Amino acid sequence: MTAEHINEDVEAAGVAYDDEADDTLIAVVGMACRYPGAVTPEEFWHNVVTGVDGVRTLTADELREWGQDPEQCADPRYVREHGVVEDIGDFDAAFFGISERDADLLNPQHRIFLECAWEALERAGYDPLAVPGTTGLYAGAGRNGYAAVIRDRADRFPGVDDLTLSLANDPEHLCTRVSYALGLTGPSVAVMTACSTSLVAVHTASLALLAGECDTALAGGVTLRAPLSGYRHREGGTMSPDGRCRTFSEDARGIVAGDGAGVVVLRRLRDAIEDGDHIHAVIRGSAVNNDGHDRAGYTAPGVRGQEEVIRRAHLAAGVSPGDISYIEAHGTGTPVGDPIEVTALAQAFDADGTGGRTTRDTGAEGPVALGSVKTNIGHTDTAAGVAGLIKTVLALEDRTLPATLHFTGPNPRIDFAATPFDVTTRTRKWETSRLPRRAGVSSFGIGGTNAHVVLEEAPDAVPAALPPAPAEQLLVLSARTPTALDTMAGRLAEHLRGHPELPLDAVARTLQRGRHAFGHRRHLVCADRSQALAALAAPAADTAVRPEAAPDGTPAVLAFAGTDAWETGSVRRLYASHPAFRDAADACCRALTAPLGRDVQRLLTTDEAVAGPESERVARFTVAYALARTLVDWGVAPTSVTGRGQGALVAAGVAGALPLADALRIADAAVRGAEPLRDAIRAAAWRSPETPWIQADTGAPVSPDEAADPGFWPELAEDTPPRPVDAAALAAGGGRLVLEIGPGRTGDARTALLDAVGRAWCGGATIDWDRLHTGPDRSRVPLPTYPFERRTHLVRPRPAPGTARAPETAAAPSETERPGPDAPEPVERALLALFRQVLGTPEDLTDPDLFEHGGDSLAAVELLALIEERFGVGMSLDDVFDHPTVSDLARVIERSLI
């Protein structure tokens, strides 16, 4: 699409867009996170804005469970404070096709980051398995001791080697694992710059977008300490003696550690605007550098490097210091690091020596607000930079500046009066005349790699002078399991209650285009929020269709029945808004004689009623025919059509069993009497249908000779309505999905159309969702993400001497349970034990498929080794790929043993 077309579309939506000025801007369109006390960005923001400190005291039981020495923990210098992410072992392995055993092996950092990547894309309004264009991923993970725990518990994982452990735990495999799981084909780059990792990832991802290496990028980081522990404080060290982060405060004495994960979804601003993305904020520019040797030591920060990275970020963003009204600092709370950071900031804000902000009196509005999220969650290491970014994005969106916690007075080594900065000690509205609101986010890593990002609040994307959206909307939900589908419905209802401002059409578009279609499906047609809430709360049996959809969908029968009139207003709205409906209706009007054509045209375009029985009959045919053509245009391609009375005639026209003009003449003749009807039927050019046309009772095909016999049409001229189509009989014949097209209870044509689309989608049809929505408004909105059904997959260290054994996840068979080489048990039972050993599958699975339960080629190699050890039989990978179930592979082994 050309820039000219982009501008036309964007201007129609009321967004100020400068093609040249905005060419280097990046939109933040989605976010997901796990930080202490928060599993969503909304919870994270609530905690930050209400002043919650997520750092808590580790209990004695927790420390014992992670194998900590009780005597060490009793040391008075031992600090038990930590920013804990709860339930780090919980994971929905089945959702991602990972076996139970491999989930146990997989580092919790990899698991949680994978879930966050999925959630971030859903929050951006995109199907994580089908993001348009090329998607890149830039992120990093810290190093923890989980692999060492696995090695120490090798008895639980026989056959696991160092390569398997590396793939499951090392940070370099974080991004590529996610790219594999989600099918992302853009650059997949592990970033590692210590504490600045995730903000460097954001910078790198932004550059990749601007260079055209990808169209969408995920960026972030994760750090989870495992084993979980406190730390021993020593005077003069970097760690806080009381486990509180007191950034910039007079009593700041060091860092407290925290765990977390954060992911943002980035797109070029012009693309985000064009595609209707929800833009949380804009990245105007960023920079990355290193302190080099201009600092006190390798681990010490440097003033010059921090100053320079901020200056470069301002230059990249095209802003001056006077444009910035908030800084989210690195702010670790160390007595030396904080003064260095403020000094560097002050010098950067006086970058040109003339118009800079050197004191709090320089700007007309007073000082620049200064804060640090580390006072809320601790130092989350590789996830720290993205935590500050997400906090600042949410602050811009909410136009609120949160308080920095634990500040009792300024660090005596910081002369705030000589700087343009002031620590934000109370939460307040972000009021400034320097619009749009802009902020800087800093993150500095041990080793000297510095990153700074300049953010700007999102452009005003409120649609201007757009035609109102149709009231009736189709909401679609799908999940891997029925229980997840029920949970999803409840979450959506709760979200709609909490966000009454959300347009229902935007909710519908987001669900249709921004979620992956799983096997268990449900659809709702509703005209307003109250109807949506009522439908979501209704018993699932009344509103859900839950087949495991076949790859090509269920065979669909379009069934036309009933002669009731459609509500004329809904017909006019469809004609005005949907090209496929309009084109089909216009074709009918052209095929009619002039007087009848004019009557039907008035029905489609004005408030005038259709006069006379002939006009009414052909108008009903026209509407039904146009609805069918619209369904086909939207992706509902019927495998057959049927109907009774005039519905059968519509079916014949849709199937192509006769020309449209002949079908309309027969509809007209049916009103004028039996003889004109017989003549019209005999005169029609009947032919073999392009789409099978079947009888409503038996499902048998209708031949041209049958259709040309007036005796085939006894209900067409009757005054009484024809009997309804026997949907149950048709569905039973060949497992068909019957989509009845009729006015129903309301007579609303759009409602009938959407209900048919919803039922077809529930049956497995692939719908062209973009064709359901016309006009320039393509907006997506953030909605609840997939309700993962997690199980605990956490291996803990061996208990410390003198302590109770820590709780475990499902263990592999013990040596006494494993069959010996001379065991007389059947091959299938012995092989099942080997499958369970490789996959960690539950005991109620009696014939698991290796690959359906998360196994891969490495699992197959391990299984082959166990088979050779147990049975003395050498087999190939092809044997496993060709016979992946226990029962099938057992037969192959038995034949080899003969």
pLDDT at 12 over 50: no
Q: What's the confidence (pLDDT) of residue 21?
A: 54
pLDDT at 827 over 80: yes
Decide: helix, strand or coil at residue 261.
strand
Distance CA(78)–CA(74), nearest Å, equals 7
Q: Give bridge partners of residue 57 from the DSSP assignment.
A: 81
- Pick from 160-164, 339-343, 621-625, 865-869: least confident: 865-869
First-to-final CA distance of the chain? 67
Q: What's the confidence (pLDDT) of residue 184?
A: 98
Q: Is 539 exposed, middle or buried (0-12, 13-18, 19+ CB in 10 A)?
A: exposed
Rg value, the chain, Cα: 33
Q: What is the pLDDT of residues 709-727, one digit of tens each?
A: 999 998 887 655 666 777 7
Q: Give the Cβ contact number of residue 814 at 10 Å.
A: 9
Write down the pTM of the prediction: 0.89
Q: Give the Cβ contact number of residue 6 at 10 Å.
A: 16
Q: What's the confidence (pLDDT) of residue 814?
A: 38
Q: Show the tokens assigned to 121.
A: 């894309």
- The answer to whether residues 394 and 45 touch, using CB atoms and an 8 Å cutoff, is yes
Q: Show the tokens assigned to 288.
A: 């990355």
Cβ neighbours of residue 14 closer than 8 Å, sequence gap 6 or more: 460, 461, 462, 463, 464, 465
Q: Give bridge partners of residue 81 from the DSSP assignment.
A: 57
Give whole-number Cα distances, 160 to 91, 121, 807, 856, in Å: 21, 33, 22, 14
Q: What's the confidence (pLDDT) of residue 8?
A: 38
Distance CA(755)–CA(615), nearest Å, equals 27
Q: What is the mean pLDDT of residues 221-242?
A: 92
Task: Provide the H-helix boundaries in 380-428.
Answer: 384-398
Q: What is the pLDDT of residues 373-406, one digit of tens each?
A: 999 999 999 999 999 999 999 999 999 999 999 9
pLDDT-derived band at 439 (thresholds 50, 70, 90) equals: very high
Closest by CA to 625, choosing from 685, 595, 678, 583, is 583
Give whole-number Cα distances, 583 to 379, 523, 575, 627, 796, in Å: 61, 28, 9, 11, 66
Output the CA torsion sign for 609, 612, 614, 620: positive
Distance CA(588)–CA(605), nearest Å, equals 14
Q: What's the confidence (pLDDT) of residue 187?
A: 98
Q: Which of 220-229, 360-369, 747-756 has the highest mean pLDDT?
A: 220-229
Helices (H) and strands (E) in the chain, counts: 33, 25
Q: Which amino acid is at 727?
A: A
DSSP H/E element including 32: strand 26-34
Distance CA(332)–CA(342), nearest Å, equals 12
Q: Is 738 exposed, middle or buried (0-12, 13-18, 19+ CB in 10 A)?
A: buried
Could you give the residue numbers annotated as active site?
195, 330, 379
Distance CA(392)–CA(199), nearest Å, equals 13
Q: Which amino acid is at 93?
A: A
| Percent helix / strand / coil, the chain, rounded to 5 | 40, 15, 45
- Pick from 312-326, 477-491, 515-529, 596-610: least confident: 596-610
pLDDT at 811 over 60: no
pLDDT-derived band at 136 (thresholds 50, 70, 90) equals: very high
pLDDT at 150 over 60: yes
Q: What's the confidence (pLDDT) of residue 18?
A: 52
Q: What is the pLDDT of residues 459-504, one digit of tens each?
A: 985 555 566 777 889 999 999 999 999 999 999 999 999 999 999 9
Give whole-number Cα distances, 509 to 376, 492, 615, 747, in Å: 36, 14, 37, 24
- The answer to whether residues 588 and 660 touch, using CB atoms and an 8 Å cutoff, is yes
Output the CA torsion sign for 837, 842, 848, 852: negative
Q: Show the tokens assigned to 303.
A: 């003033």
Q: Show the tokens assigned to 25.
A: 């801007």
- The answer to whether residues 159 and 240 touch, using CB atoms and an 8 Å cutoff, is no
Q: What is the pLDDT of residues 282-293, one digit of tens each?
A: 999 999 999 999
Q: Show the tokens assigned to 108.
A: 């919790």
Q: What's the confidence (pLDDT) of residue 614?
A: 86
412: DSSP letter:
T
- The reply to whether 3-457 and 477-544 are identical in fold is no
pLDDT at 4 over 70: no
pLDDT at 267 over 90: yes
Q: Mean pLDDT, the chain, as a whole number?
A: 87
pLDDT at 547 over 80: no
DSSP H/E element including 27: strand 26-34
DSSP character string of 136-150: EEEEEE---SHHHHH
- The answer to whether residues 422 and 368 touch, using CB atoms and an 8 Å cutoff, is yes
Distance CA(647)–CA(642), nearest Å, equals 7
Q: What's the confidence (pLDDT) of residue 466?
A: 60
Cβ neighbours of residue 763 closer than 8 Å, sequence gap 6 or more: 545, 547, 549, 553, 554, 556, 737
Distance CA(769)–CA(476), nearest Å, equals 11
Strands 231-232 and 520-526: unpaired
pLDDT at 793 over 80: yes
- The answer to whether residues 129 and 516 touch, using CB atoms and an 8 Å cutoff, is yes
Select from 3.40.366.10, 3.30.365.10, 1.20.1050.10, 3.40.50.11540 the CATH code of 556-772: 3.40.366.10
Tokens 């020309």 locate to: 659
DSSP H/E element including 478: strand 473-479
Q: Give the Cβ contact number of residue 733 at 10 Å.
A: 15
pLDDT-derived band at 865 (thresholds 50, 70, 90) equals: confident
Higher pLDDT, 697 or 421: 421
Q: What percent of the chain has pLDDT over 70?
A: 88
The answer as to CATH 1.10.1200.10 being correct for domain 827-897 is yes
Strands 26-34 and 281-290: antiparallel
Q: What percent of the chain has pLDDT over 90?
A: 64
419: DSSP letter:
S
- Pick from 68-72, 217-221, 273-277, 626-630: least confident: 68-72
Q: What's the confidence (pLDDT) of residue 884?
A: 87
Tokens 């929505």 locate to: 773
Going edge to edge, which strands form the sheet with 640-643?
640-643, 556-560, 737-741
pLDDT at 815 over 70: no
pLDDT-derived band at 118 (thresholds 50, 70, 90) equals: very high
Q: Give the Cβ contact number of residue 546 at 10 Å.
A: 17
Strands 216-223 and 135-141: parallel
Q: Give the Cβ contact number of residue 672 at 10 Å.
A: 14
Closest by CA to 834, choosing from 774, 885, 772, 882, is 885
Cβ neighbours of residue 660 closer than 8 Å, sequence gap 6 or more: 587, 588, 591, 625, 653
Q: Which fold has domain 477-544?
A: Alpha-Beta Plaits (3.30.70)
DSSP H/E element including 530: helix 529-537
Closest by CA to 178, choosing from 141, 152, 148, 203, is 141
Whether the link from the prior residue into 436 is cis, omega within 30° of 0, is yes
DSSP character string of 194-224: GGGHHHHHHHHHHHHHHTTS-SEEEEEEEE-
pLDDT at 121 over 90: yes
Q: Where do the domains of the chain lie?
A: 3-457, 477-544, 556-772, 827-897
- Pick from 185-194, 198-207, 505-514, 882-891: least confident: 882-891
pLDDT at 669 over 60: yes
- The answer to whether residues 610 and 600 touch, using CB atoms and an 8 Å cutoff, is yes
Q: Show the tokens assigned to 479.
A: 């999940």
Q: What's the confidence (pLDDT) of residue 813?
A: 40
Select from 2.40.50.140, 3.40.50.12140, 2.60.40.1220, 3.40.47.10 the CATH code of 3-457: 3.40.47.10
Residue 176 half-sphere exposure, CB side, CA atoms within 13 Å?
9
pLDDT at 601 over 60: yes
pLDDT at 408 over 60: yes
Higher pLDDT, 845 or 674: 674
Q: Which amino acid is at 274?
A: E
